[in-house]
Amino acid sequence: MMKNKKGFTLTEILLAVMIVGIIGVALAALTTAASRESGVGRSKVLLRNNLSIALRQLRRDIKESSRVLYVRGTLGSIDTTEIPLLMLGKNVDQGDGSFYSGDVVYITYCFKRGTTNKTTSGATVLPSGAYDGGVITRYESNAETWTSGNLPSCSGDSSSKFLNNVKYIPSAQYAAPLFAVRGFSGTYNVKDSGSLAKIRKNLGSVLDVNLITELPSNPVVNDVTEETFILPNGFGIKQ
């Protein structure tokens, strides 16, 4: 007579199910974490690539410019109205304002603050008063146009987005975006409605630029650059 063979007991089956369940949950958590990290990595690469492309364009414009006509300085508290950050003149003589041979070109960089102050998880964008979603636009024109208050006009014959996803931070904390003369603070400009001589007070030729791009995702993804430019012909500041 054959002996009866015992199967698995209920306790053993439940224990096996529990072990498989624990392993499954752990694997799912690892897969989710890996997927999230992969997404964060791709976003960081995207932000870095966009910043690199933008900075190459800015370096090229500064290298080819013959005069810096306007520098914004720190932004302070601003709304979503587009404001100029920097205006460069190509083929413009630095001494008397006359043109070199060839066509004159004016390049103006303008910033429009975004409206996003919450992340996708509902958390407040940090630091207090900061906003995500800003845009810097590069305007190119053959005409030098100024508005009231000696501010360059944010318009031109052609324009292109210079940088998206730009973070705005009030200047009291960490100025961003920042286009500022080394050694000076506050809001200032180069344009002077008086004599051209007033514009030529050469106080330095170093331009500091701070840019932050940020996605208000969960987790937040951002990239920061602090760039120093040595301007080929210097510039002056209205006093």
The answer to whether position 29 is within a domain reads yes
Beta carbons of 196 and 236 less than 8 angstroms apart: no
Question: When comparing pLDDT for 170 and 12, which is higher?
Answer: 170
CA distances from 28 to 13, 33, 128, 149, 202 (A): 22, 9, 36, 60, 63
Residue-wise pLDDT tens digits, 16-66: 888 888 887 877 776 666 656 566 678 888 899 999 999 999 999 988 887
Residue 174 lies in a domain: yes
> Which residue range is the domain that position 196 belongs to?
11-236
- Give the total number of structural domains in the chain: 1
At residue 227, the pLDDT reads: 92
pLDDT tens, position by position, 201-238: 444 568 889 999 999 988 899 999 999 988 765 554 33
Any domain includes 80: yes
Q: Is residue 98 part of a domain?
A: yes
**Is the peptide bond prior to 127 cis by the omega test (within 30 degrees of 0)?**
yes
Please report whether residue 5 resides in a domain. Answer: no
Q: Which class for 235: exposed (0-12), middle (13-18), buried (19 or more C-beta within 10 A)? A: buried
pLDDT at 11 over 60: yes
| List of residues 6+ apart from 153 with CB closer than 8 A | 84, 108, 145, 146, 147
For 46, the 3-state DSSP assignment is: helix
Residue 157 forms part of a structural domain: yes
Residue 63 has phi, psi (to 5 degrees) of -65, -35
Q: Is the pLDDT of residue 94 over 60?
A: no
Residue 72 lies in a domain: yes
Q: Does a structural domain hold residue 130?
A: yes
| Residues 6+ positions from 135 with CB-CB distance below 8 Å | 111, 112, 114, 161, 163, 164, 166
Considering the entire predicted model, what is its pTM?
A: 0.76
